[in-house]
Structure 1
Amino acid sequence: MDANPALSGPRIFHGWLVVAAAFAVMLMGFGSAYTFSAFVEPLQAEFAASRGSVSLVFSLAGFLYFGIGVASGPLADRFGSRPMAVAGMVLVAAGLALASAARSLTEVYAAYGLGVGLGVGFSYVPVLGAVQRWFARRRGFASGLAVSGIGVGTLAMPPLASFLIGELGWRGAYLAIGGLVAVVGIGAALAIESDPDARGLGPDGDPVRPDAQAAQPGWESPGGASIRDAVLSRPFIGLYLACLLSSFGVFVPFAHLVPYALDHGIPQGSAVVVLGMIGIGSTAGRFLLGGLADRMGRRASLLAMFAGMALALGAWAGSTGFWPLAAFALAFGAFYGGWVALLPALVADQFGGRNIAGIIGILYTSVAIGTLVGPSAAGFAYDAGGSYALPILAGALANVAAAGVLWGTSRSATAGSARDRTGR
């Protein structure tokens, strides 16, 4: 006699389909955002603008797509991730289409900065939160797969943008990318589901049976810390500060690597390929390091990511040729990808699943501040001194400081746990 399908579950766990949809949403959203480096020179030429003022377009968008998670996360916890993701993809598509018709740099700020910024912000944290609820034992690996969409977007979308700029001009390129987001991004967003409960499943596809829940390995209750308790805890404060420091340098390459390469005599096509190398490294980092951290410990692995990004940024400061820059981009991308993959899983480990999207959204306000300051400050530093050396080295040192903060917080938490066990 066949097993009860409600208990045996589907052949393919539906959580992996949610991961695939999250992958596509992030590919479209972040891929569109990270095409910006290919548009820097066309926008400078079109509006006779400085590099710093053009870079502010990317910084504004980055500030919004990380900062708006403080609102989109709790909204997703309450109303579901799907409507937030759909709204986000609509905004990205509309923002790109409106940017194609901009008559001034201010209108680019409004269309691209607000449209892409709010759109990615409305979709990113909600789909991340959804993925966390579908997995427990394989949470790090599932998160890595989902956010690898960002890496693939960084690999594929800038070369596509460069090609479209050559064929259609920058305005036509923005319009074409907006159309792609409308078709692929909105379609993927419609496949997002907030949690496995509606399908009678627990995390990782385990059947939900009241008499067996406590015995299921890796099963965790839908409870967890309140948002207030989480954000006032020492682990959260340490993680917030570490991410804030790191973000001052992390997003500088996404806005300035192509202009940096062009300044050093590398042709436009090769410069965009260098940026795409971040996507290759990032994809590998998200696939490999997320699963590795499930076995080695996510907090220790995150510490390694900060240290690795610091070393990579330091190497960038001395790189001028195509191959050294490509090597930097691959290494930096791998550590960056691991960082992005580990953060949501680490938050879920620490604070549970009940308010996961809201807690992640608050954490990402730290990244929002760093993204607003870092790329724009690097552009203005270049305008003032004709060199990127100072902002690149400052970004490397900021990641060293981030690693120090996380290490100190981890030691303090370990010592506190030891005192609790011994009663001293």
Structure 2
Amino acid sequence: MSAPRTPSSLAATASPADTGELAYAWVVVWACFVGLAVIFGVAYSFAAFFDSFSAEFHAQRADVSLVFGLSGLIYFVLGAGAGVLADRFGPRVVCSAGMLCIAGGLLGCSFAGSISAVYAAYGVGIGIGIALVYTPSIACVQPWFTRRRGLAAGLASAGIGAGTVVVPLAATALIGLLDWRSALRLLALGALVLGLGATLLLRRAPGATAQQGRGPVAGLTLREALRSSEFRWLYGAILLASPVMFIPFAHASAAARDLGIDDARAVGLVGLIGIGSLTGRFAIGALADRIGRPLTLALAQASLGLSYLVWGAAGGYAAMAVFALWLGLSYGGMVALMPALCMDLFGARAVSSILGTLYSGAALGNLAGPVLAGWVFDRYGGYGPVIWGCVLLSVPGTWAAARLVRRR
């Protein structure tokens, strides 16, 4: 009887693959980059539409924040199912279906007559679409590489940062030139042209598919991974980090407007988070190559919480810009580390399913964090309790990541 497989034994069982040398591997990387730029550019353009939704439907901040929170809840919860579908049917079919859902959600939202319709179109429709694209596309990249996995993961996930920089600013400009409904329709067209074009290029790596004469794919099944302590600590770190990550995407621009900052620069803070995120994916990736991915994750988690001290002391645009860049640096590094760390720990066999299940840990924080922050503001007239709550929440999150370091 063979010995049971464990996460720590995967490095010994995985042989150097020739898939990292295939030219098509880099096509997959850039297709993933574009796909992630589209879906998260759309998701984080919510900041540009925040005031329009509030004014059009006479909604409070907690009510409008629920749109963003609902979308995040759905795409993180359904990510596990999308991963299972991708493992079975391949990433191209699943991700392309997701892009169609995003375009449909944007178009439907442009005709919304109530905030409830916005919940259904932007929250549910776009949430389902992102779920079908995010996990399958990012998980698709890892099995193509062995020696350059960190670089490939950083390049692919940099699409999130690029989309965060470009699309919210483009949406703001379109709202100013036209109106918010026309802006949504043009974003839907962009999702169809760029997004669908990218997802049609995705392809499963040869090494990620069991073939005759080669035996099963190396790695753990989803059930085996769920029983491991590494999975539990990683899940806990994600669960605790998620509110700290996602509150600024919904509220940093509104907080800047409260300080008297004009709309363009206020929405531009989301773009600065994206710039910091782009930097973090490469700078933190390089650090991870030197000191290891688990330790780098713990440091990034601590940095995420510390960035809120700058928001707490902010009195103008400069401090808010520093906060956005710092938070983006930490957040981007964490997001870039997750797929490669998941591949390191659990192997290629069920990487999409495992990664999607891990991301479900972010669902509650993505929903509850922005909505609770809006409720606190509506009740107390400020974000002070939110800021200190995020600082404190980062402590157990960092501890969970540190436990993963000890296990490794």
TM-score, normalised relative to structure 1: 0.88
Aligned counterpart, 1:264 = 259
Please list, as runs of the form range in 1=range in 2, the aligned pairs for 1:22-421 lying within 5 A after superposition: 22-197=32-207, 222-411=217-406, 413-414=407-408
Relative to structure 1, the CA distance from residue 261 to residue 9 in structure 2 (aligned partners, 3 Å threshold; closer, same or farther) is closer
Relative to structure 1, the CA distance from residue 16 to residue 105 in structure 2 (aligned partners, 3 Å threshold; closer, same or farther) is same
Structure-2 separation of matches of 1:9 and 1:232: 29
Deviation at 1:68, TM superposition (A): 0.9
Contact kept, 8 Å, 1:289 with 1:338, in 2: the verdict is yes
Contact kept, 8 Å, 1:35 with 1:158, in 2: the verdict is yes
Relative to structure 1, the CA distance from residue 49 to residue 356 in structure 2 (aligned partners, 3 Å threshold; closer, same or farther) is same
Deviation at 1:142, TM superposition (A): 0.9
Structure-1 separation of matches of 2:384 and 2:183: 31
Deviation at 1:197, TM superposition (A): 4.6
TM-score, normalised relative to structure 2: 0.92
Structure-1 separation of matches of 2:353 and 2:371: 28
Instruction: Show CA shifts across 1:51-101 (max 9, x none).
Output: 000000000001111111110001101110111110111111110000000
Relative to structure 1, the CA distance from residue 10 to residue 299 in structure 2 (aligned partners, 3 Å threshold; closer, same or farther) is closer
Structure-1 separation of matches of 2:394 and 2:90: 34
Structure-1 separation of matches of 2:120 and 2:181: 15
Contact kept, 8 Å, 2:19 with 2:25, in 1: the verdict is no
Deviation at 1:396, TM superposition (A): 2.0
* Structure exhibiting the larger radius of gyration computed from Cα positions: 1
- After TM superposition, the structure 1 stretch with the greater mean CA deviation from structure 2, 372-381 or 389-398, is 389-398
Contact kept, 8 Å, 1:274 with 1:325, in 2: the verdict is yes
Structure-2 separation of matches of 1:348 and 1:95: 32
Query: Could you list the runs of 5+ residues in structure 2 that have no partner in the other structure?
Result: 1-16
Query: Could you list the runs of 5+ residues in structure 1 that have no partner in the other structure?
Result: 1-6, 203-207, 214-219, 415-424
Q: Aligned partner of 2:88: which letter? A: R
Deviation at 1:9, TM superposition (A): 9.2
Of 13, 16, 24, the match for 2:23? 13
Deviation at 1:115, TM superposition (A): 1.3
Deviation at 1:314, TM superposition (A): 2.2
Instruction: Show CA shifts across 1:231-262 (max 9, x none).
Output: 12111101111110111211001011111100
Deviation at 1:222, TM superposition (A): 2.5
Indicate the SS of the match to 1:251: helix
Aligned counterpart, 1:421 = none
Structure-2 separation of matches of 1:26 and 1:8: 26
Structure-2 separation of matches of 1:29 and 1:12: 27
Indicate the SS of the match to 1:193: coil
Aligned counterpart, 1:217 = none
Relative to structure 1, the CA distance from residue 56 to residue 229 in structure 2 (aligned partners, 3 Å threshold; closer, same or farther) is same
Aligned counterpart, 1:422 = none
Structure-2 separation of matches of 1:96 and 1:320: 35
Contact kept, 8 Å, 2:294 with 2:404, in 1: the verdict is no
Q: Aligned partner of 2:316: which letter? A: G
Q: Aligned partner of 1:330: which letter? A: L
- After TM superposition, the structure 1 stretch with the greater mean CA deviation from structure 2, 290-299 or 92-101, is 290-299
Deviation at 1:292, TM superposition (A): 3.1
Contact kept, 8 Å, 1:144 with 1:291, in 2: the verdict is no
Contact kept, 8 Å, 1:56 with 1:375, in 2: the verdict is yes
Deviation at 1:8, TM superposition (A): 9.7
Aligned counterpart, 2:14 = none
Relative to structure 1, the CA distance from residue 318 to residue 8 in structure 2 (aligned partners, 3 Å threshold; closer, same or farther) is closer
Contact kept, 8 Å, 1:274 with 1:322, in 2: the verdict is no
Indicate the SS of the match to 2:66: helix
Contact kept, 8 Å, 2:20 with 2:147, in 1: the verdict is no
Identical amino acids, percent of aligned pairs: 43
Q: Aligned partner of 1:23: which letter? A: F
Contact kept, 8 Å, 1:154 with 1:276, in 2: the verdict is yes
Indicate the SS of the match to 1:328: helix
Q: Aligned partner of 1:24: which letter? A: V
Structure-1 separation of matches of 2:98 and 2:248: 25
